[in-house]
Structure 1
Amino acid sequence: MPDSKTEPTPPTQGSIPKRWGIGLNVAFQVLLVLALFFGVNRISYRYHTRWDLSPQQSYTLSSSTLNYVSKLPKDVFIANVFARDAKIFTDVQALLEEYRINGRGRIKLRSIDPLRDIERAEELKAETGLPLDQNGIVIKVGNLTRFIREEEMVIRDTGTETTRAIKAFRGEDAVTSALINLVEGGERKFYLVVGKGSRTETALTDAMTALGELGRQQNFQLLPVNLAEISRIPEDADGLLLVGIRYDLSEREIAMIKTFWEGKRAGLLVMMDPAGETPRLHAFLGLNGVIPREDRVLYAESTGSGTRKEFSVQGLFDNESPITQPLAASTVTLPGQSQSLDVRFDDEYLQNQSITVNPLIGASDRYWGEKNYLEDLPVVDEEDTRQPIYLAASVERGSVADPRLRVDSCRMVVVGNASMLDKKSALAVNRDFVASSLNWIINRDRLSGTPPKLKHSYRIQLNPRQNELIFWITTIAMPGLVLGLGMLVWASRRAA
């Protein structure tokens, strides 16, 4: 009977090279995977995109700050001198990282804990000459240094010194203002014309408060000036503001403004009160291509409940002007009453005088400029102004078309409304438009866009039942669900 056992077949000579081939193939694959891994990491390190997924975009710099830091003309050094256990340390560090990332290599950032990094803190003291005896931020540009204290970056709630909780974080506001101050070497100055009446004392106070707040953010100083008490506009004036004046300027005062406007670099912001009697001011504006009309922009209709007449105007921003381009996606509401503006942007005489006029805000389609606005139900007729209705315009004199030859020019913004800064009715976009206009008229194009916003702190009050429900969900239900899924997976594997 033949033997059923078979002898094992000895390996052939070709099997060894085959094993070597498999090994080399595996090694090559491993090297390729490693190369792809390090290559992808290298590329993602140099070219990456960051998203701010917070509901209020709390970790994103405002458009005006982004425009400014992306075009810095000088190198900037920033030191975060905060103890790690400070309440706002995380917010400050995240904020300064945004400045560094968007500074295009111009901003160098260092974080120093004065309680742990004593040697580095002493070196910074010796280098800057600052005491650094409290938490804050050191900003250095050339030979100029600024120390921003912790209290300058927060707004606290009312209460005693020891119990005042932080209500809002205004770090970007403080850092951007200090940065502008150091780069420009000082504050700009705006003079607000007073002594010419106003709608109410409250309206004038609201305007001064709002402009003062913008000045603190945008690094300019707001000063009142009575034209009747001076012989010329102050030489250190970067801009002159005429906000809601009711009484007309005298011939001498108009001559002062003309002299200021015809200087090498002048900025004017004029917010017209439609109820004001200012024919000389109207004539001055008309010579520069913007003529305020004697009307009111409104919308009127007859409804089942009676007549509806709406003076509050819904407007749209121009998407080409550097003033309003960052705001073009937003709509603006002009409260109170507004008058339309005749904008002569195609006037040949103005073009020969190197004066360029552009509309900034236009009323939406349902509004018109009504002459007989006191009627109960006004209707559009021949003497009224039809679309397009312009509510704000810009004027630039002495501009150069070629950006390579750009020099500072004289600039003016005219608005047919004086209520944009009223505390009770003003929207954030109104404030943003005024801030962008102020920066534009003093040739600060790098600060165009929306200014910094406050980062508010919110407290959620939960009742005992809600606290108990959160406890059961987070401590019992969610861990139990994970445990149950794990047991199901284990049981299915045991059955297999």
Structure 2
Amino acid sequence: MSDSSPQPSSALPSSAPKRWGIGLNVALQILLILAIFFGLNRLSYRYHVRWDLSPQQSYTLSANTTNYLNKLSKDVFIANVFARDAKIFPDVQALLEEYRLNGKGRIKLRSIDPLRDIDRAEALKAETGMALDQNGVVIRAGGRTRFIREEEMVIRDTGTESARPIKAFRGEDAVTSAMINLIEGDGRKFYLIVGKGSRTEAALADALAALGELGRQQNFKLMPLNFAEINGVPEDADGLLFAGIRYDLSEREIAMLKAYWEGKRAGLLVMLDPAGETPRLNAFLGLNGVTPREDRVLFAESTGAGVRKEFSVQAIFDNESPITQPLSTSTIILPGQSQSLDVRFDDEYLQKQNILVHPLIGATDRYWGEKNYLEELPIVDEEDHKQPIYLAASVERGSVADERLRVDSCRMVVVGNSYMLDKKSALAVNRDFVAASLNWIVNREKLSGAPPKLKHSYRIQLNSRQNELIFWITTIAMPGLVLVLGMMIWASRRAA
């Protein structure tokens, strides 16, 4: 009797190959995802675009700085030696990061908190030989080191000496100037003319201190020079400074000045004292297109409280000159007394002599040049000088259109005010103008600086109802919404 029970079918194929295939497919997918992930990150690191969305473009370097960084010839080390709780630490760190990103690999950046990273701070002190006893930025290039103090990177508002709020951040100007000075090497040499009197001894001391500080920052040496003791301007002079002299030059001294100015390369910064008796010096300036006037720039009016006579002049910068273009968004106040300048920038004779004259600072509309400035209530009349009122001008002799050939031109800046560097009344923008003028005189326009970034403070006032609404939204509603969404996801997974 045959066995009719069903024969067992052949064994089912093993599922092991199928599992291995799935595992290999997953592994390949993971490897591909990782390759795409790291590849995209690598591409975004090397080729990326950054946007500065701040209203004042606070995190964008100026064109002068970026152009210079693109042509760096030496490696530069920068250390941000700021305490993390310093008010301008975020601004400094963001600024220096921009330098690193635009430095084409030549800028190395390190951030050191002297209060927390004590060992690294001490090591940096040993390397640089500097005390580093305050917040600042260390820059090393070409075997030379420069420490930029915190106060050099800010402009403070008026107020008490102990608590003056920061009005603007000028870190880019300070860092770029220091970097160029370190790479440039030996500083230029300016001679300050002495022995011709001054308003006061304190005013002369203030001018010397201010110019000495500028020299340290802008990499030039300041030396005193008495015309009465020499027979000619020293050959190593990159420029001569006349800071508010009271007494005129003699005929012999004027001849020395003319011989220097008519040479191949000369530089002059003349800050006139309106009360000075300097007819020969004024005549020399007039021959070059800038004639000081016998007046005082002022504003006067009669008010209910009496006569108001204002000698401090609020003025604006020219926006075309390389000296003042970076400062054109700022206003300047010239303290003390100022005299106006007759600036002949459209004189055909001067143009034939290859002398280019350009106004730099002009008084705002309410000021005029008053000849009878000693009157109790001066009023504008026919003999007074009306707008435009120029307070500073530049003169360039031997200028040519090609910037590469202008290195041998003679340059001069004339200012109808000698109070700009007084310690008690000088503003940071006054210092910036003088620094830019000196750099232009020695053909270093790239050191004229970047405009400061203004710091804005905003106050939001909320009433009790608005404060209560913010509390309920941030403390109850938002966490509650997250909790509800989490419970909904948990419940949907449980149901599946």
Tell me the TM-score normalised to structure 2 length: 0.71
Change (3 A) 1:183 1:79: closer
Question: Match for residue 390 of structure 2?
Answer: 390
> Residue type matched to 2:307 in 1?
T
Change (3 A) 1:195 1:481: farther
Question: Match for residue 367 of structure 2?
Answer: 367
> Residue type matched to 1:294 in 2?
E
Question: Match for residue 266 of structure 1?
Answer: 266
Change (3 A) 1:98 1:221: farther
Question: Match for residue 159 of structure 2?
Answer: none
Cα distance in structure 1, aligned partners of 2:408 and 2:99: 27
Question: Match for residue 191 of structure 2?
Answer: 191
Cα distance in structure 1, aligned partners of 2:406 and 2:415: 26
CA positional deviation for 1:264: 1.4
Question: Match for residue 46 of structure 1?
Answer: 48
Question: Match for residue 79 of structure 1?
Answer: 77
CA positional deviation for 1:489: 4.7
Cα distance in structure 2, aligned partners of 1:112 and 1:493: 44
Q: Could you say what secondary structure the match of 2:408 adopts?
A: coil
Contact 2:197 2:247 in 1 (8 A): yes
Contact 1:75 1:106 in 2 (8 A): no
Cα distance in structure 2, aligned partners of 1:434 and 1:155: 18
C-alpha distance after superposition, 1:152-178 (max 9, x if no partner): 65679xxxxxxxxxxx99987875455
> Residue type matched to 1:70 in 2?
N
C-alpha distance after superposition, 1:213-257 (max 9, x if no partner): 111111111122111122222211111110111111111211121
CA positional deviation for 1:479: 6.0
Cα distance in structure 2, aligned partners of 1:74 and 1:490: 55
Change (3 A) 1:406 1:446: same
2:482 is equivalent to residue 486 of structure 1 = yes
Cα distance in structure 2, aligned partners of 1:39 and 1:289: 61
In structure 1, runs of 5+ residues without a counterpart are 1-26, 114-120, 157-167, 456-474
Contact 1:399 1:407 in 2 (8 A): no
Contact 2:146 2:182 in 1 (8 A): no
CA positional deviation for 1:323: 0.9
CA positional deviation for 1:339: 0.5
Question: Match for residue 109 of structure 1?
Answer: 108
Change (3 A) 1:68 1:223: farther
Contact 1:297 1:313 in 2 (8 A): yes
- Aligned residue runs from structure 1 range 195-206, under 5 A: 195-206=195-206
Q: Which moved more, 1:176-185 or 1:272-281?
A: 176-185
CA positional deviation for 1:42: 3.9
Cα distance in structure 1, aligned partners of 2:78 and 2:364: 47
CA positional deviation for 1:403: 3.5
Change (3 A) 1:310 1:448: same
Question: Match for residue 70 of structure 1?
Answer: 67
Change (3 A) 1:175 1:359: closer
Change (3 A) 1:386 1:170: closer
Cα distance in structure 2, aligned partners of 1:212 and 1:450: 21
Question: Match for residue 444 of structure 1?
Answer: 444
Change (3 A) 1:263 1:74: farther
C-alpha distance after superposition, 1:347-377 (max 9, x if no partner): 1211111000011111111111111111111
C-alpha distance after superposition, 1:255-285 (max 9, x if no partner): 1211211121111110111000000110110
Change (3 A) 1:495 1:112: closer
Cα distance in structure 2, aligned partners of 1:403 and 1:281: 30
Cα distance in structure 2, aligned partners of 1:449 and 1:367: 29
Question: Match for residue 291 of structure 1?
Answer: 291
Question: Match for residue 7 of structure 2?
Answer: none
Change (3 A) 1:42 1:220: same
Contact 2:314 2:333 in 1 (8 A): yes
Change (3 A) 1:323 1:97: same
- Aligned residue runs from structure 1 range 180-329, under 5 A: 180-329=180-329
CA positional deviation for 1:50: 3.7
Question: Match for residue 3 of structure 2?
Answer: none
Question: Match for residue 12 of structure 1?
Answer: none
Change (3 A) 1:480 1:110: same
Change (3 A) 1:320 1:343: same
Change (3 A) 1:492 1:110: closer
Aligned residue-pair number:
413
Change (3 A) 1:42 1:403: same
CA positional deviation for 1:97: 2.8
CA positional deviation for 1:416: 0.5
Q: Could you say what secondary structure the match of 2:143 adopts?
A: strand
> Residue type matched to 1:46 in 2?
H
Cα distance in structure 2, aligned partners of 1:331 and 1:387: 17
> Residue type matched to 2:482 in 1?
G
CA positional deviation for 1:415: 0.5
CA positional deviation for 1:487: 3.9
Q: Could you say what secondary structure the match of 2:75 adopts?
A: strand
In structure 2, runs of 5+ residues without a counterpart are 1-28, 113-119, 153-165, 456-470
Question: Match for residue 140 of structure 2?
Answer: 139
> Residue type matched to 2:343 in 1?
V
Q: Could you say what secondary structure the match of 1:401 adopts?
A: coil
